[in-house]
Structure 1
Amino acid sequence: MSIYVEYRAICLFLLGIFWATGLSGCQKPLSDHRTPIDRVVDGDTVWAEGVKYRLIDLDAPEQHNNPSHGFKCEAERIHAEAATARAKELLLDQPIRILTEGKPDRYGRTLAKLQLPDGRIFGDVLIAEGLAVRWTGEKHDWCAHLSQ
């Protein structure tokens, strides 16, 4: 019986470590906070209360001219301007619910979804309007997408 007790104690200990470090593969519950958005960087990045958020549910085209991760063609830049303008229209001066995921991304941004005052999820709106696509974990090829 003592081997069973030791085994159980070790399992509970390891489970506690996995849970505490996020190594279990389970997503931590989303926290809930309502705040105005201070700045829209582009269609999938915003600032609120001094925190930079990367929106986890969508990928919007890039509007900056950075060779490594900026826009790749003029069509992407134009589409990015439209996505950013729509984001500003929907998000600025509104009480937005920020649903955060526990860990920051590799650039230190807090990962989140945004819920509009009417209950819609911001990413779903931009995707439905054709201004963004669902985030799949890889950058979308906007130039190929927009040339179709």
Structure 2
Amino acid sequence: MHLFRSHTLSKLLAFFLLLSLGCQQRQQEARQETQQEVADAPAENQYKVIAIKDGDTIELLKDGKPLRIRLQGVDCPEKNQDFGTRARQFTSDLVFGQYVSMVVHDTDRYGRTVAEIILPDGRNLNQELVKNGYAWHYTAYSKDQELARLEAEARAAKRGLWEQPSPQAPWDFRKKKTTNPAGNPASGTSEQASSPAVATSGTKSGKAYLCESKSSKTYHLDKDCHLFQQCKSSTGTVSIAQAKSQKRTACKVCAK
């Protein structure tokens, strides 16, 4: 009987020891899971990149809603330009699906937040685009000396788009599209023949210059208007009457 009781007691002790070890292991696993969740959670002022519109325009998820960001101080080639697709891919490779922080500068007339984007490793996306030859320093809207220096270095090293002998700046590309919008031949119609060959002022030519962005509610009388040059969508030319029929109002800058 004594031996039986001792054997039973040993079994009970072994059972409780195993149970205790199992509890400790589960507690350790739970702590590790919690630590991993904390490590994976975004820090304050960090937002996940959910879309890449083009090289210099991305979307972040902020407060559960998409927020469109226009990168401050840089201008990437348009999608129909040389290096436009490569610039978009460069941006995507660096930030898509990543948590980034931003330094907000302004909100543009299209409602986009104009900002610098800081990568998880601390690098500046705006600077990386210029440094690697995938963007121009947008001097019309930025006097940033670091961007100017990085562009000069990229030019000298013939990085990215600077490997071309005479790359066309995106603002000149957009201006060319405005002068000769898609679907309109450069010459050959009697209507165009009766109009000035080059007309900057819409009041003289009767033309209105439109940015085809969904959020655009204005028309421009001057195709060189700096607000019109900010358009990142396709552009077009219609008569002033047609622009008004679309319930657009004249730009307060170029209609003065």
Partner in structure 1 of residue 57 of structure 2: 45
The whole-number CA distance in structure 1 between the counterparts of 2:140 and 2:45 is 25
Partner in structure 1 of residue 234 of structure 2: none
Partner in structure 2 of residue 146 of structure 1: 167
Partner in structure 2 of residue 7 of structure 1: none
Q: Offset at 1:144?
A: 8.4
Q: Offset at 1:87?
A: 0.5
What are structure 1's unaligned runs of at least 5 residues?
A: 1-31, 64-70
Q: Offset at 1:99?
A: 1.3
Partner in structure 2 of residue 114 of structure 1: 117
What are structure 2's unaligned runs of at least 5 residues?
A: 1-43, 142-160, 169-256
Q: Offset at 1:34?
A: 0.9
- Does the CA-based 8 Å contact 1:60-1:133 persist in structure 2? yes
TM-score, structure 1 length as denominator? 0.61
Q: Offset at 1:55?
A: 0.6
Q: Offset at 1:110?
A: 0.7
TM-score, structure 2 length as denominator? 0.36
Offset from partner CA, 1:58-93 (integer Å, 9 cap, x none) = 110111xxxxxxx4xxxx2x3110000010000112
Q: Offset at 1:57?
A: 2.4
The alignment-based identity, stated in percent, is 28
Partner in structure 1 of residue 87 of structure 2: 83
Larger Rg: 2
Offset from partner CA, 1:9-35 (integer Å, 9 cap, x none) = xxxxxxxxxxxxxxxxxxxxxxx8211
The whole-number CA distance in structure 1 between the counterparts of 2:132 and 2:140 is 21
Q: Which has the higher contact order (CA 8 A, sep 6+)?
A: 1
- Does the CA-based 8 Å contact 1:33-1:99 persist in structure 2? no
1:57 aligns with 2:70: no
- Does the CA-based 8 Å contact 1:38-1:48 persist in structure 2? yes
The whole-number CA distance in structure 2 between the counterparts of 1:40 and 1:146 is 23
Q: Offset at 1:135?
A: 1.6
Partner in structure 2 of residue 97 of structure 1: 101
The whole-number CA distance in structure 2 between the counterparts of 1:145 and 1:121 is 27
- Does the CA-based 8 Å contact 1:33-1:97 persist in structure 2? yes
- In the superposition, relative to structure 1, how do residues 144 and 136 fare at CA in structure 2: closer, same or farther (>3 Å)? farther
Q: Secondary structure at the match of 1:86?
A: helix
Within a 5 Å distance, the mapping from 1:122-137 to structure 2 comes to: 122-137=125-140
